[in-house]
A = this chain, B = another copy of it.
Amino acid sequence: MYLCPQMQEYPSILLSNAVDCFASLPGVGRKTALRYVLHLLRLNETDVDHFADTLKQLKHEVHYCHICHNISDQEVCSICQSHHRDHHTICVVETIRDVMAIENTGQYSGVYHVLGGIISPMDGISPKDIEIDSLVDRLATQEEAVEVILALPTTMEGDTTNFYIYRRLQALMEAGKSIRVTQLARGIAVGNDLEYTDDLTLARSMANRVEFKA
């Protein structure tokens, strides 16, 4: 007799509820969720309480920087507060993870603007749902010349969002603001073989070839 995995019965409703919770996380199935739950059951009560309280505290006490919308412990994040960062270079990214990825390179000294998503009619995300208006407001109040680096995903949604933001910034530029809009270089990833690079990337890196620097 074959029982499909969904029919699996748990010996306790508490166990079943906890498995439901973990299984709601991205990429976690019911078997993995059960593994996590049985691990927690082996811990002592203090450790499980600490786990639960940390999650509650995160959700209740976390702030989002009201300048760049990055996650923060204060009203303004440490990057926006820093005097060592170049506040006239603003890198526009989709998520907090992108900020962390760029920070990890140690090569960028400007500030950020986290959109919290990209325009995607398929997922019902319109320009109003993400932090584009606040980017425009932020640039409108800048007195000096600013560079905006578009660092969104290289997908159709990313390109759409890039184009939409560029159109909005064009209005500011026509009103006399000095804004330079750039985007991350696209091409063959460092360390990749030509033969394993996809056609579109290869064609574009051929079209956008640059002068050889010795």
A37 to B15, CA, bound (A): 21
A176 at the interface (CB under 8 A from B): no
Which of chain A's residues 1-41 have a Cβ closer than 8 Å to chain B?
1, 3, 7-15, 17-18, 20-21, 24-28, 32, 34-41
Q: Chain A interface mostly helix, strand, loop or mixed?
A: helix
**Given A71-B41, A103-B9, is A27 in contact with B35 using a C-beta cutoff of 8 Å?**
yes
Chain B CB within 8 A of A100 CB? yes
Which A residues between 168 and 195 are near B, CB-CB below 8 angstroms? none
Q: Are A14 and B52 touching (Cβ within 8 A)?
A: no
Option from B18, B58, B63 in Cβ contact (under 8 Å) with A55: B18
Query: In the complex, which of the residues B9, B50, B78, B100 contacts A8, with contact meaning CB atoms closer than 8 Å?
Result: B100
Residues of B within 8 A of A125 (CB): none
A124 to nearest B CB, angstroms?
Answer: 15
- Point out residues on A near B: beta carbons under 8 Å: 1, 3, 7-15, 17-18, 20-21, 24-28, 32, 34-41, 43, 45, 48-63, 70-73, 77-79, 95-97, 99-100, 103-107
